[in-house]
Structure 1
């Protein structure tokens, strides 16, 4: 199994806010999206770009996966954002409203022309109907594409839907993005939860996202980090069961294997090994 990178909690931080960038160094999130788009006013975008680049180059964010979200294709800031972010060399460049495989290829070409190091991936935000309908082609468009990030607020808006508990209006879209991401072997990160004071609702949506198969959740407030980290991490019981299942399978003589009165097959062993890989990666991150 390939090395697992935890992305349970991926926190948006406005790159225009120096205090926020400093605070992010001590927040126990798995990933950061240093934002140049929605969280930054038009007259602050150029200055924010410089701050995001400096933050990435500082190397002061530990083992966190640090990314930069640039302004979208067609905006007046996009081209310069791509060049600056590529040269800074974050873990990934996050691009809003990626709508086609051709746009993925365009973005990758721009990153490579700007000198992006090999480790800098592209994370495509999926947040429009056309992107959902073309998810698989987008996911498979380039080996440099490392993740889908769901833009659920924009998706709800574009569908003329409503934000409701359980997210029934957008569940088909979420499943479609997950299917495409898994088919392509990339990470898939759930969208944000807007009501930062509704802890119960947030935790319920984290649990839903974990059950659906998301790798983690994007966040808009540091207070959401702890809940996301817990929700998207294997429980102690799950880790113990994974170890027991693998041990039972590996110690068998080739006959039918059972663990806790359930038959064990290769697919169960693969799932158990993934659980342990996630657990070990989280443990290393915390160390």
Structure 2
């Protein structure tokens, strides 16, 4: 595959450094640099932004982000085998790439980043949902990032953008849509990866809202939604039992029938219910 810059094609980089994907690390490498460039462009104008990338692997998306004009890329990579290849990318781009080696769930990259910050990643499958949940649930809002452009298994992507009364609608839908505008911007077939995963992938772009869409206490809303969808087959008067002594009255006040189930309730009603329980 042709290169988008003066560095070798990714397949050559992988062979040179023996960077064969490890299943234990959730690795699936994208070798098509035209495709990684398309993903990078979904994040918007990067010229005046720092970019945080998790799981750069051999650096395909990293190179695309730098080629598309990112002010700086800070990449967190757990696999030390990838560090020499990423060092070559950093040298080629005059040090605009900083690599932090370690577990993304344990590293705080903020001291290396300057605002505005965009997060763009082909997330390792084994930590993707956990990282997204953390980024959507900071102690204070707005968060440190302006937008998230993230690749997931298509099933996870569909959960992020799902609407009520659909099978995919759930806690992740509420969490994302309460504080962001979220949309699926690309789908990527298994054949585009090495090794090919068993499922189609999709890229989701989330643009943060400066204030949440509806008033609600973040912790209580999360608790209400977790209980509601934790037993999604049950009526809400049963799944939310114990949250308030007069639960059914509060459900009715929020415009929710006690006999309804979680997947029938929209974001606004969940927020209203959580505020009624808090009061």
Instruction: Pick the TM interval, shorter chain.
Output: 0.3 to 0.5
Give TM-score, length-normalised by structure 1: 0.32
Which of the two has greater helix per residue? 1
Give TM-score, length-normalised by structure 2: 0.32
The structure that has the greater radius of gyration is 2
